[in-house]
Structure 1
């Protein structure tokens, strides 16, 4: 092989190696930024990674909420009715947070298999202008959320924690300016991940001959 062709081959190999490294780093960063959801049974069985940002959720166990009277620290347990996990959080909980309700939180699992939450997904986002029909709220898919602004009469079934579909435009501030808001007629709405976790738990309970509580 003559020297010129050898130099070209060396350059091509270096370029290919550089592209491979770049793709690998991009894939790693992408995976690090995906907040995978784990239910309490998966956490109890050791499937969830420790000290990695994930999402976890289930139903808040009755009688499990413990608040620190001198701070915003709170501890509670979430369950899929097969297993449960302790969640620790410091901050203001959503207005509609309650025992017996579904919840999804973002955070990390510590070495004690406790979930240290950095965010408990918000409800209570509706803000109404008392002097007009203007209203602002946030909608979420439990991964991200967006502000919606609307002026008009909202549907009768519009409520926090319920599904909604809106028609409109995104403005320069990445806010959705709605011209029409339609409420989904599902008064038993709960986060989709929690619903799927409960379905998995119900299937396990059937296999083991156990009864599941109604939810």
Structure 2
């Protein structure tokens, strides 16, 4: 299911296209912080002049929605796609805590289960990338405490290490074949200077038998 199809369905306002949720209050929050709404650094980055305060953005949005009627919510769903899907997992319990205690709350993460996999050379490129993100954004203090108490904080950016600590009902939608993860986790561009994986990454039917074995592994 692609992003447009997923959100086109759950956000559609007709009972034919969206029988379950067409009459719900629906809010779409644009993803804008680069760390799945976990960043919180007081200082402005001196090199880029950027602010890394995604956790504050999330809190401000929730406070605004609370004042607009969310304080009366009986049912609520937090959902997102890709980095927004990861944000859903990382902020699921926080979202629950910001709603009335009596509200029924669930989270749906679409295409956000990024794995801690090795590259074709056996290195941990994605792990290094996530560590840089967590350090740059000061994310550690906004990742689930139960996870960061058990392991290095950047590892808690990986859903496989976090989901066991999530207390709120969580549903995961993820493709078996994920071109972003093949391209960034398994075969980052610097490991494929001859572009031997280019066709495979763009279209799984173009993968060689040996590439498919690696992907399935």
TM-score (norm 1): 0.24
| Bigger share in helix | 2
TM-score (norm 2): 0.23
